[in-house]
Chains A and B, each alone.
Chain A
Amino acid sequence: MAIIDVKNLSKYFRVYKKEPGVLGSLKSLFNRKYENSKAVDNISFKIEEGELVGFIGPNGAGKTTTLKCLSGLIYPSQGKISILGYTPFDRKSDFLKQIGLVMGQKNQLWWDLPPIESYLLNKEIYSIPDRQFKETIEELAELMEIKNILQVQVRKLSLGQRMKCELVAQLIHLPKVLFLDEPTIGLDVVMQQKLRCFVREYNRRYKATILLTSHYMDDVKELCRRVIIINQGGILYDGLLENITKKYSTHKLLSVIFESPVKKDELQSLGEIKLYESTKVNLLVPRKDSNHIASHLMEKFDVADLNIEEPEVEEIVRKIFTAKIV
């Protein structure tokens, strides 16, 4: 049985329209005009235990709204959600004890105290037994490399250290289902990498089901085998990441390094120039013509190196967003 089961989930928001100025304010007192804006429109999906699924889409696609519906913070307009057998919006404490939602930079830790104090408070709130708490702290602190700062006041920590501690605070109760909303946003490259390692390890060690939203493709590429692409409230694709490339790429990428610089207009007739740096050129060409164009290039110019590659996933995803291929 699927751990997460979403059926026909829809969420509409009422957006009130008001004309500017005093007259508009008066008018709106008597006759409130509103529109229903569809944040999420009839989406359905199932996630099994232990899966690590990526939820990608551009800004405003409905990712955060979906996550909030799944964690019980928002009441769906239509549809049914079942997580671990519970309906999220009932907000039963047994349900809340098993899920975790990590959303950006919310400050949950007490500022003047060391993180361990905040963890102890969460321990009581989540009714975690002493021994389990000790073990969990040990493991999580080791994974996130915060063992030596557990006793340091939060206000004395650097931003990176603080974020790691915040994350641990939200995982003290070892949630079986974890929702991560843009976890790497605002982090430097090193931290992003560390965070991804951590997520992967958490998924592996605790067999946690993880749903991750991001608009950094790198997060998804490194962590998720399965992705759900959402745009304008609807699901465009739900399947394995590798299949996107096979299914949707109508083009191939020729990455060429010439011996000497080649003029742009000589290449423009052959395909779409993706990169042009004197001797280094990336050319996007139709799939069926790739071999033909490659040999043409090698004949006509002095080529030092040539590779035929699948286009980057970002490229394909961007195309899916803009063209809405179903």
Chain B
Amino acid sequence: MKYYFNVYKRLLKINFSELIAYRAGFINSIISSLGWGFFQMVWVYLLTAKIKSAYGWNRDELVILAASYILFMGIFHMFFSRNLDNLSRIINYGQLDGYLLKPIDSQLLLTCWQINYSQIIRLFIGSYFITSTLIQMRYYPSVTNVIGFATLLIFGIILMYAIWFVVATLLIWNPQLSNLIDFLYNITGMSRYPPSMVKEFKSIVLLFFIPLMLTVAVPVKAMINKVLLGDIVQLLIFSIFLLYISRQFWHFALRYYASASS
């Protein structure tokens, strides 16, 4: 609705003003995103230098997977990461009330509060390496491929967001566990690997990673025409289901917060 559009427009503007106002932070962010963006490519090149394939993915496909991961994380870091990091601080320092008093959905407000424009660099790096590798493979994706990739990527982001928000919500019960968020950063790195890597191990611990591994791999598979209907269905179901869970869990946590805080 127009209301949410207006609020978000203003948030976009205010974050842009902040970027211009605090230049030192902006430069540091640019350096970081450039660094980590290129690092991912170096990482995949080093890993695949001596091998032909792994878990059914050949070298080029692994490179595209890594590049898509850069693109994916770029979007995620641009819109969501800072807010999820801040959530632990907000809860710890008693600032949650300020957000709860506003006449707008608290989960939405907290999720969209800050935007990190400097991460757009990762979008460029990722897109560049995806296209250049595709050209090198002499593979030209059709419109359906690209649309499939974009759509499934969005669902992957929703899935990632839901998982992160659930973990961040846990902090309402124990604010000291803020390094769980750092743990998540590391775990998301698993999505650079082929999903079958995890399915090979029947350990329950590893199966837990499956939703996460779908986030980048399925869109990429759609792009290079290797996707199965089952993959798409899994991704869709997981992302919608977990988004619903994150919402219910948030409301549950707020009720706890409302009855326990003093």
A and B touch in their complex, CB below 8 angstroms: yes
Question: Is chain B's interface secondary structure helix, strand, loop, or mixed overall?
Answer: helix
Say whether A107 contacts B95, CB under 8 Å: yes
Q: Report if A121-B259 is in contact (Cβ < 8 Å); known contacts: A73-B97, A101-B101, A126-B103.
A: no
Count the A-B residue pairs with Cβ separation under 8 angstroms: how many?
76
A205 neighbours in B (Cβ, 8 Å): none
What per-residue 1/0 map shows which CB atoms of B97-129 lie under 8 Å from chain A? 110111110000100000000000000000000
Closest to A91 in B: B100
Q: Report if A65-B10 is in contact (Cβ < 8 Å); known contacts: A103-B97, A117-B17.
A: no
Closest to A101 in B: B101
Counting CB contacts under 8 A, is B186 at the interface?
no
Say whether B14 contacts A120, CB under 8 Å: yes
Counting CB contacts under 8 A, is B22 at the interface?
yes
Counting CB contacts under 8 A, is B136 at the interface?
no
B255 neighbours in A (Cβ, 8 Å): 75
Say whether B10 contacts A121, CB under 8 Å: yes
Closest to A118 in B: B14
Binds B, one of A92-100, A290-298, A299-307: A92-100
Counting CB contacts under 8 A, is B7 at the interface?
yes
Say whether A112 contacts B14, CB under 8 Å: no
B262 neighbours in A (Cβ, 8 Å): 13, 39, 64-65, 74
CA of A118 to CA of B13, assembled, Å: 11
Q: Looking at the assembled complex, report how far the CB atom of A122 sits from the nearest CB atom of chain B, in whole angstroms.
A: 8
Counting CB contacts under 8 A, is B11 at the interface?
yes
Within 8 A of B (CB), among A155-172: none
A193 neighbours in B (Cβ, 8 Å): none
Counting CB contacts under 8 A, is B258 at the interface?
yes
Counting CB contacts under 8 A, is A127 at the interface?
yes
Say whether A75 contacts B7, CB under 8 Å: no
Counting CB contacts under 8 A, is B261 at the interface?
yes
What per-residue 1/0 map shows which CB atoms of B14-25 lie under 8 Å from chain A? 100110011000
CA of A13 to CA of B260, assembled, Å: 6
Within 8 A of B (CB), among A39-77: 39, 64-65, 68, 71-75
Number of interface residues of B (CB under 8 A): 27
Say whether A127 contacts B3, CB under 8 Å: yes
Q: Looking at the assembled complex, report how far the CB atom of B17 sits from the nearest CB atom of chain A, in whole angstroms.
A: 6
Say whether B102 contacts A96, CB under 8 Å: yes
Q: Report if A74-B14 is in contact (Cβ < 8 Å); known contacts: A103-B97, A106-B98.
A: no
A23 neighbours in B (Cβ, 8 Å): none
Closest to A97 in B: B103
Say whether A125 contacts B260, CB under 8 Å: no
Say whether B103 contacts A93, CB under 8 Å: yes
Q: Report if A14-B260 is in contact (Cβ < 8 Å); known contacts: A94-B103, A112-B22, A125-B102.
A: yes
Of B3, B14, B100, the contact of A121 (CB 8 Å cutoff): B14
Counting CB contacts under 8 A, is B203 at the interface?
no
Closest to B25 in A: A112
Say whether A89 contacts B258, CB under 8 Å: yes
CA of A103 to CA of B3, assembled, Å: 27
B104 neighbours in A (Cβ, 8 Å): 93, 125
A112 neighbours in B (Cβ, 8 Å): 18, 21-22
What per-residue 1/0 map shows which CB atoms of A204-247 lie under 8 Å from chain B? 00000000000000000000000000000000000000000000
Q: Looking at the assembled complex, report how far the CB atom of B246 sits from the nearest CB atom of chain A, in whole angstroms.
A: 19
Say whether B261 contacts A74, CB under 8 Å: yes
CA of A107 to CA of B10, assembled, Å: 19
CA of A169 to CA of B101, assembled, Å: 13
Q: Looking at the assembled complex, report how far the CB atom of A110 sits from the nearest CB atom of chain B, in whole angstroms.
A: 6
Q: Looking at the assembled complex, report how far the CB atom of A46 sits from the nearest CB atom of chain B, in whole angstroms.
A: 23
Say whether B259 contacts A117, CB under 8 Å: no
B102 neighbours in A (Cβ, 8 Å): 96, 125-126
CA of A110 to CA of B14, assembled, Å: 9
B95 neighbours in A (Cβ, 8 Å): 106-107
Residue of A14, A73, A118 with highest tally of chain B CB at under 10 A: A73
Q: Looking at the assembled complex, report how far the CB atom of A273 sits from the nearest CB atom of chain B, in whole angstroms.
A: 40
B97 neighbours in A (Cβ, 8 Å): 68, 73, 101, 103, 106
Say whether B7 contacts A124, CB under 8 Å: yes
Counting CB contacts under 8 A, is A108 at the interface?
yes
Of the A-B pairs whose beta carbons lie under 8 Å apart in the complex, a sample of 24, sorted by A's number, is: A13-B262, A39-B262, A71-B101, A72-B101, A73-B97, A73-B100, A73-B101, A73-B258, A73-B261, A74-B261, A75-B258, A93-B104, A97-B103, A103-B97, A106-B95, A106-B98, A107-B95, A112-B18, A113-B14, A113-B21, A118-B14, A120-B10, A125-B102, A153-B21
| Nearest 10 interchain pairs by C-beta | A93-B103, A96-B103, A112-B21, A124-B10, A112-B22, A75-B258, A124-B7, A97-B103, A75-B259, A124-B6
